[in-house]
Amino acid sequence: MFIVVLLLAFIVVYYFGVNRILGLPPGPPPLPLIGNMLSFDWEIDKMLLAWKAKYGRVFTVWMPFPMVVIGDHKVLQEHLVKDGDVFLGRKNPEQVMDITFGGLYGLGFEDNSMVKEQRKFALRSLHESGMGSVALEEIVHHFAEEIVARWRKTGDSAVDVTENIMRAVGNIVWYVIFGITLEFDNTVLVKYRQLQQDMLPYLGGPFIMFLETFPVLRKFEFLFGSPVSKLRAISTESNNYLKEAIATVEKSFNADDKPSCYIEAFLAESKKREEQGIEKGNYNYDQMVASAASLWGAGLETTVSIVRLCILELVNHPDAQRKLQKEIDEVIGKRRIRHADLKQLPYISAFVEEVFRVGNVLPINFLRQTMQDTEVDGWPIRAGTTILPQFSMVHSDPAEFERPDFFCPERHINEEGQFVKDPRITPFSVGKRSCLGETLAKMEIFVMLAAFVQNCNFVPVNKVPPAIEFVNTFGRAAAPFLVKIQPRN
């Protein structure tokens, strides 16, 4: 009896007082072990906005470990941008990284001690080997035109646009990593992508989710149907695709040539260190494989998701589609559209900005970790605290955007008809861990969308356009939909 009373007293104190005792900002009361997980809803931003209304613009949520949520534009700018180095760390999924890559490697979930060096190297090498270049834009055009040619032949059929977009975006990321593209119908990328999808049920399963908080559970995996060994088997198979591609780059690699992709730049740095007798440090094979996986993982589904959503919005908003086509017809005509033309195309900029606002491709942003003691909005925050910079909450906050669920590119057009960039819309996040591929993603999305509407009309299969519904897992994407594609003259 005494133990039961003690246990109940502990639960009550924990429920009402744990945030205060730990000096964390207030938030929904958590339960021991499971935190706020019972309240979890995949409509994450709606759930978080309700808590923001109740607890303030900085609050604590336990999933099941505590994280300080920032979903306010001003606070994000004031702290994550101005104090970038303080918010540089990640709360890394250490167990998942150990199972899939043998440790904290890659770009995104690397060890916090190597983030500055590896991020700087990746940014420099991606730019030196062509990210943002006209040559890469040519490749995007090539794939956009291949898709247009295929779609223009689809006649009266109902088309799922996903696979063609995936093949194009997948090839572009592959090119950035390995310096080659594959034939459009080559199945390697489709198979590799399928393996990533096969991992999702295990990654999202309760056992793996709890493993991060209670690593001791790994000893009892036999009780849970061995999700760890299944995850390890799939990731070994998928890493083998990357290892084969790396081996091909190694065969033709010449250290005297300018690197043409991320892997060549990595090999060059590693060789330089070897020749100079410097410790190879983080320029090792495991880091190279995991970085390739990070670039693919971060660059594929995100971009595919936004391009698909552009098409879904076009079908749902025929007026917007006509405006885009009119703008392109008047400014560009029939010639190939260049990324540099964007300045003269305010409506397409506004359309993409609005897709970014409603798209929110990461339902929960990557978690950060404070590198030193600091304060956020008046709350003292200790080094090592997990931070969730949930910028997407800003995008769907009715206090920031009138009728946030309503898709309206005109929000971003001023009275003079010019596009006005809204600083509150930050789909690539903010601060020193923001997206590494922003330049590439924006160029891909613009070039593809422009080529698609210049050459095709997207119309509903029936009279009513497909519903705009989202499927949330680790990424957020529009549910499968079909459209009809009519060639424009």
Chain contacts with ligand HEM (rule: CB under 6 A):
107-108, 119, 173, 176, 294-295, 298-299, 302-303, 306, 361-362, 365-366, 389, 427-429, 433-437, 440-441
Q: How far is the CB of 107 from ligand HEM (least distance, A)?
A: 4
In the complex with ligand HEM, the residue whose CB is nearer, 303 or 396, is 303
Q: How far is the CB of 425 from ligand HEM (least distance, A)?
A: 11
Q: How far is the CB of 283 from ligand HEM (least distance, A)?
A: 17
In the complex with ligand HEM, the residue whose CB is nearer, 108 or 409, is 108
Please give, one letter per residue, the 3-state secondary structure of 162-220. Answer: HHHHHHHHHHHHHHHHHCCCCCCCCCHHHHHHHHHHHHHHHHCCHHHHHHHHCHHHHHH
CA distance 74 to 86: 17
Q: How far is the CB of 236 from ligand HEM (least distance, A)?
A: 22
In the complex with ligand HEM, the residue whose CB is nearer, 298 or 324, is 298
Nearest-CB residue for ligand HEM: 437
Q: How far is the CB of 174 from ligand HEM (least distance, A)?
A: 10
In the complex with ligand HEM, the residue whose CB is nearer, 302 or 321, is 302
Annotated binding residues, as ranges?
435
In the complex with ligand HEM, the residue whose CB is nearer, 314 or 436, is 436
Q: 386 forms bridges with which residues in the sheet?
A: 369
Closest among 15, 56, 17, 54 to 36, alpha carbons compared: 15
* Helix axis angle, 318-331 to 301-316, nearest 10°: 100
Contact indicator for 90, 412 with CB cutoff of 8 Å: no
Q: How far is the CB of 434 from ligand HEM (least distance, A)?
A: 5
Tokens of 181: 């593209």
In the complex with ligand HEM, the residue whose CB is nearer, 57 or 91, is 91
Q: How far is the CB of 87 from ligand HEM (least distance, A)?
A: 9
**Burial of 145 from C-beta contacts in 10 A (0-12 / 13-18 / 19+):** middle
Q: How far is the CB of 15 from ligand HEM (least distance, A)?
A: 31
Contact indicator for 94, 372 with CB cutoff of 8 Å: no
Annotated binding residues for heme, as ranges?
435
Closest among 208, 203, 197 to 237, alpha carbons compared: 197
Tokens of 402: 């009138």
Contact indicator for 370, 408 with CB cutoff of 8 Å: no
Contact indicator for 302, 361 with CB cutoff of 8 Å: yes
Helices (H), 34-161: 44-55, 73-75, 94-101, 115-128, 134-151
CA distance 337 to 481: 27
Contact indicator for 58, 377 with CB cutoff of 8 Å: yes
In the complex with ligand HEM, the residue whose CB is nearer, 139 or 228, is 139
Closest among 324, 378, 322 to 25, alpha carbons compared: 378
In the complex with ligand HEM, the residue whose CB is nearer, 105 or 207, is 105
CA distance 367 to 388: 5
Q: Is residue 68 within a helix (H) or strand (E), and if so which, with residue range?
A: strand 66-70
